[in-house]
Structure 1
Amino acid sequence: MRRIAILAEGAFRWHAAKTAVGVIRYSPDTTVAVIDSTHAGMDAAQALQGPVGRGIPVVKDINEALQYQPDTLLIGIAPRGGALPEEWRWQLQTAIEHKLNIVSGLHAFVSDDEQLRSAAASNGVTIWDVRRPPEKARVADFTPHREGSHTILLVGSDCGSGKMSTALDLNAEAQRRGLSSAFLATGQTGMMIANNGLPVDRLISDFAAGLVEEQVLDLSNRHDWVFVEGQGALNHPGYSPVTLSLLHGSMPDAMIFCHKAGQTAIDGYERCLFPSLNRLIEINEDAVSWLRPERRSKVVGISLITNHLNEEDARAAIAQINNETGLPVTDPLRYGVAPLMDALQQHFA
């Protein structure tokens, strides 16, 4: 069990600090402080304007965070470009000098920085670059999963649509029901929470599906339910390749579709408009059927983000999408994932 201080300088907000929020919500480790000088003096829930992070202090810098006796500094946001901002360097250096391990999901590897690597070696601490890919190469060989197991992939309309959190919630709900289940992390935040998984967005494209397949086969041999964290979206102009690798590597038996209520275009690509939700669902189902036409994988429920809406509007959005798609719809944060788990169990009954 780690005692974590999360570095989220200047960006500790619900969407901008997805890694920080995910670790606070789901990690079995204890978050003792969040570093963000722009929200210093608040607790994390006040800064996020929601229910997550009550009682966790937001502090101005690493020196103030050290008062809460962390043993790990975790970088909880992803600056544009994925490099380590120079203005953060002193905070990492100070953390290392105080014997804190470093956990980083940046695209630029902290352990490749000579100054920080030498400091870590001198102080006997570790640097975990979560996105560093395994050296192993494996091409998918289309091996069937164990009969009786159920692999569920989370897909969606965009990045940041709730795929990781819904997978984690479903895994927890399955275990509450006494089912044998596992969560497969495929991104840096999920890996920080689960302490295992694959950084799919850093894998060589020829091997991504194969390495996902290997992990799914291992988990499905040991568990009846496997919830695979999704990445990107098939309709995303930048990140569709990673989504296709997950679809074909995991070969899901069913899918849950994730979406933000009211969103009509890819975030940051305002000209890339969404087709209907039914069409978005269809293209994901079709992509699996290219390889397995005789056993079509279906989307059986929808996870909807409504935290930007009031209660009345949230319920109206859920009802509207239920009417549009004919599928069960819930906001896991507001109402839990029981309707989605019910739909999955009924689908395989």
Structure 2
Amino acid sequence: MRRIAILAEGAFEWHHGKTATGVIKYGQDPIVAVIDRANVGKDVAQALNAPFGQGIPVVRDIYEALKLEPDTLLIGVAPTGGDLDPIWRSQILAAIEAGLNIVSGLHFFLADDAELSEAANKYGVTIWDVRRVPDKKRVAQLVPHRTGSKTILMVGSDCATGKMSTALELDIEARRRNLDSAFVATGQTGIMISGNGLPVDHIICDFIAGMVEEMVLDFADKHEWVFVEGQGALNHPGYAPVTLGLIHGSNPDAMIFSHIAGLTTVDGYENAPLPSLKRLIQMNEEAISWIRPEPPSKAVGIALITHRLSEEEALAEIKRVEEETGLPTNDPMRFGVANLMDALERHFAE
């Protein structure tokens, strides 16, 4: 087991800090501290207003974190573009000099940086660049999944709408029901949590669908239920190509749609208003129908993120979305996924 300190300087919140929050909530290794000077003195639960992370302190810098004896520094920020913020470099170097291994999900590969690589060699530590893609190329071949397997893909209206968390919660719920289930990671945070997967947003576009197809076929050969982490959104101005490659590569038998309550535009794109939920869902169903018209793949439930709402407001919004779409809806992090799993079991029993 690693003892992890998480670097989340300036971004310990739900969007750009989603790597930190995901690893804290779902990872198996103990988290000894989070580094973010804006929230010093709080614990994780207080900083995020979350029902998890009690007792994990938020500290000022790597030097305070070292007092808690971590052996690993994990970069917990997922910035747009994935570059290394210059203000993080001194803290990463200090961690290396203290003998900590480094885990990073940035598009910028730390192991390829001369200064950081030289320091890692000098102090005998490893740098794991999670987004480094396997050295292979594969174009999708539209190979059918094993008969009897059930592949469910998480799709959504934007980035950071809870697609990974929903897939993980569904996997947990399926195993609680004694079903043969697996979670398939397709992004850096999911890979950090599960220890395997593909960083699809760093794969050459021609090979996204093919490499995802190969991975999902392997999981479907081994498991009855396969929950695939989603990425981006078909309506996203920047990341739609990744999403389309993932949809076609995973070739899902069903989908769960993820959305943030109250979201009206794509985050960071004020001139990209969101269509209605019904239209967004229809877009994803259309995209998979281009390669598999029969049997059709449908969204069978909605994961609605409501952390900005009170509990009363959240329950009312869940009911409203159910009425609008006709689909079972829940907030996986606040109220669980039992009704979404019920919907999936009914869908596959039909």
Fold match by TM threshold 0.5 = yes
Identity within the alignment, %: 66
Matches within 5 A, 1:1-349: 1-349=1-349
Cα distance per residue 1:34-73 (max 9 Å; x no partner)? 0111211111111112222110011111111011111110
Secondary structure of the residue aligned to 2:303 is strand
CA contact (8 A) 2:16 2:79 kept: no
C-alpha separation in 2, matches of 1:164 and 1:78: 14
- Residue-by-residue CA offset, 1:170-223 (whole Å, 9 max, x unaligned): 011111111111111111111111111111001001100000000000000000
Cα shift at 1:86: 2.2
CA contact (8 A) 2:130 2:191 kept: yes
* SS of alignment partner, residue 272 of structure 1: coil
> Is the partner of 1:68 in helix, strand or coil?
coil
Distance 1:322 1:114 in 2: 53
Amino acid at match of 2:73: L
Shift of 1:82: 2.3
The answer to whether the Cα contact below 8 Å between 2:209 and 2:249 also exists between their aligned partners in 1 is yes
Q: Distance in 1 between matches of 2:306 and 2:22?
A: 17
> d(CA) in 1 for partners of 2:79 and 2:248?
30
Query: Cα gap change, 1:80/1:140 in structure 2, threshold over 3 Å: closer, same or farther?
Result: closer
CA distance in 2, matches of 1:49, 1:308: 10
* RMSD after superposition: 1.0
How far, CA to CA, are the matches of 1:15 and 1:292 in structure 2? Answer: 33
Gaps spanning 5+ residues in structure 2: where? none
What per-residue deviation string (whole Å, max 9, x for no partner) do you get for residues 272-330 of structure 1?
A: 11111111111111111111112100100000000100112111111111001111000
Q: TM-score scaled to structure 1, two decimals?
A: 0.98
1:80 offset after TM fit, Å? 4.4
- In 1: Cα distance, 2:26 partner to 2:118 partner: 32
How far, CA to CA, are the matches of 2:347 and 2:23 in structure 1? Answer: 31
Kindly tell me: are residues 81 and 237 of structure 1, through their superposed partners in 2, closer, same or farther at Cα, counting changes over 3 Å? closer
For 1:172 and 1:149, the matched residues in 2 are separated by: 17
- How many residue pairs match? The answer is 349
Are the equivalent residues in 1 in contact too, given 2:302–2:328 (CA < 8 A)? yes
Whole-Å Cα distance in 2 between the matches of residues 82 and 292 of structure 1?
Answer: 34
Which residue type is aligned with residue 213 of structure 2? E
Quick one: which amino acid aligns to residue 191 of structure 1?
A: I
